[in-house]
Amino acid sequence: MMKCQTVMDILERLAPKKMAEDWDNPGLLAGSPQQEVHKVMTCLDVSIPVVEAAIKESVDMIVAHHPMIFKGVRHLRTDLYDGKMFQMLLSHNIAVYAAHTNLDIAEGGVNDVLAQAVGLEKIESFVITDAEKGFSLGRIGYLPQVKSLDEFVMDVKKGLHISHVRIVRGSNKPVRKVALCSGAGADFVSKAAFKGADVYLTGDVKYHEAQGAVQQGINLIDAGHFGTEFPVVQVLADYLTAEAAKMKKDLEVITDNISQDFFEFC
């Protein structure tokens, strides 16, 4: 068992809050740094089903990628979704910590996990957020060998454990150089094209962003917001387990195994 603050310190070593974008809200969002933690659950989103699972598993702390609070809370009505969720968390003394854009940017974070999952090597920075400190959203890398777009799509689906992607065929060139940004990174299509990527992998692509990819001659793969980010959930759990072991602390870490992409394909 350890203090919540100690778990937070471990997470800060991986993804310091100072890396986060100004608009973001990472850190401890519920609970106290001084409360005792013996069991942690990692997840992408804090939701009522996730909290219900945490209660069932006697979890003391949830570590999420997406913050459950972004804007000011104007009421805590327990007849509404968020209020009910907060009530469940507080009544069961479950702390909640979020690592969002800081985990996107961090070395070994969401984008590095995504790049490794789809088989990239020689991985470099993509969208620089702080040139002095070398912070970068997204990554650019290379496949070990040239592949067709369809072959790479199969690698993406296998690596991310997803059944479907959306493809924009902006070029008939083979794929070797790949740019990517987890989550909603379609704003960076032009940057991917400018940097000479053969394909850009991200999520949440809209129609005109797809049109722009065609106009700029770059292939585009939309693997979904959930699909491009969920792999970090297991990586976070493995990281916390390993760091606790190094400290000779007794900490059990489990992952959210119930959440799925909101989108279904019919």
CA distances from 242 to 46, 103, 232, 254 (A): 23, 18, 15, 13
Averaged pLDDT for residues 111-139: 96
pLDDT band at residue 225 under the 50/70/90 scheme: very high
Averaged pLDDT for residues 234-245: 98
Encoded amino acid at 133, one letter: K
Looking at residue 130, what is its pLDDT? 92
Domains defined for the chain, CATH in brackets: 2-100+229-255 (3.40.1390.30), 107-223 (3.40.1390.30)
Looking at residue 192, what is its pLDDT? 98
The answer to whether residue 139 scores a pLDDT higher than 90 is: yes
Euclidean distance between CA atoms 139 and 108, whole angstroms: 11
The answer to whether residue 265 scores a pLDDT higher than 90 is: no
Mean pLDDT for the chain?
Answer: 97
Residues 49-75: tens digit of each pLDDT: 999 999 999 999 999 999 999 888 889
Q: What is the pTM of this model?
A: 0.96
The answer to whether residue 171 scores a pLDDT higher than 90 is: yes
pLDDT band at residue 199 under the 50/70/90 scheme: very high
pLDDT band at residue 19 under the 50/70/90 scheme: very high
Question: Residue 51 is encoded by which pair of tokens?
Answer: 């909290």
Looking at residue 72, what is its pLDDT? 82
